[in-house]
Amino acid sequence: MMKNVLAIAGSDSSGGAGIQADLKTFSAHGVFGMTVITAVTAQNTSRVIDVQDISPDMIGKQIDAIFEDINVDAVKIGMVSKIESIKVIAERLREYKPKIIVLDPVMISKSGYALLKPDAIKTLISELLPLSTVVTPNAPEAEKISGIKIKTMPDMKRAAKIIHDMGAENVLVKGGHIEGSHSTDFLFDGKSFNVYESEYIKTKNTHGTGCTLSSAIASNLALGMDIVSAVDNAKKYITSAIMHSLAIGKGNGPTHHFYELYKKAGILC
């Protein structure tokens, strides 16, 4: 039976990140994607021009529309910029109690635009972290959440423990921002660490990598994988997508969400 995964996130008009990346990732994993739009962004590969937030009331009604009609096997949360939006999402998730919630704490775009208002970070921590099956911050995001500086891999592990103590069931701290020949991520379940290491791929085309990875994890969990396998398979997926990323636009191009499927179909690009 088809699994259904809901993305609660912002729309990226350039198609490389946000809701658009979520839906592409869901499709690539063979799950049915649904959406709740939290904001509409005017952005491209080079910059975010502007953001228009959807009203909290409308966000709540979108969530109601999904859950009253369709079984939701997993939820992925991406860009949620305002305190009021975060609160209504948390309220609805506590009401509907989905079994799997993947939280990608999107804070800053690749071009440096603040997508999460500074005064909303505490609300995200208090309202959404305790509901999450896994939270997937990169190093700068983990710094903001944990309150410590992250320069080394031991710092990443320390931050993961701090964030876990804030209520997340599992914490995946991503090391793509830490300099080195390899990218190392740490998954902490409250007891032990799993380490995921991949070769650092030299490319500027990494728009939407965080959205894509978290959506892949949500898809894999919905398909019945345990958290360790879900992250492992998601890492392999995003590594391939980055390796075969697309040089679209003048800035940071998107990853190739369908490379493996296109390869099997004999369509190469």
pLDDT given at position 171:
98
Write out residues in the chain with pLDDT < 70, as ranges: 109-113, 176-181, 268-269
For residues 110 and 212, is the Cβ–Cβ distance under 8 A? no
pLDDT given at position 81:
86
Q: Of the listed 35, 45, 123, 209, which one is catalytic?
A: 209
pLDDT given at position 113:
66
Name the one residue in this structure whose structure tokens are 């305790």: 130
Active site residue 269: no
pLDDT given at position 180:
59
Q: Of the listed 35, 41, 136, 206, which one is catalytic?
A: 206
For residues 43 and 49, is the Cβ–Cβ distance under 8 A? yes
Q: Of the listed 18, 176, 210, 253, which one is catalytic?
A: 210
Active site residue 167: no
Q: Which of 93, 74, 79, 77 is nearest to 31 (CA)?
A: 74
For residues 142 and 153, is the Cβ–Cβ distance under 8 A? no
Q: How many CA atoms lie within 13 A of 97 on its CB side?
A: 1
- Per-residue pLDDT tens over the stretch 5-27: 999 999 999 999 999 999 999 99
Q: How far apart are CA 98 and CA 87, in angstroms?
A: 16
pLDDT given at position 264:
86
Q: Of the listed 10, 208, 212, 235, which one is catalytic?
A: 208
CB neighbours of residue 181 within 10 Å:
6
Q: Of the listed 15, 18, 136, 211, which one is catalytic?
A: 211
Name the one residue in this structure whose structure tokens are 């990443």: 156
Q: Which of 77, 103, 47 is nearest to 250 (CA)?
A: 47
pLDDT given at position 223:
98
Active site residue 208: yes
Active site residue 224: no
Q: Of the listed 3, 24, 76, 174, which one is catalytic?
A: 174
Q: For 4-137+211-263, which CATH class?
A: alpha beta
For residues 16 and 253, is the Cβ–Cβ distance under 8 A? yes
pLDDT given at position 267:
84
Ramachandran assignment for 186, one of left (phi > 0), alpha (psi -120 to 50 degrees), beta (any other): beta
Q: Which string of DSSP letters, residue by residue, matches 108-154?
A: B-TT--B-S-GGGHHHHHHHTGGG-SEE--BHHHHHHHH-S---SHH
- Per-residue pLDDT tens over the stretch 232-258: 999 999 999 999 999 999 999 999 999
Active site residue 174: yes
Active site residue 211: yes
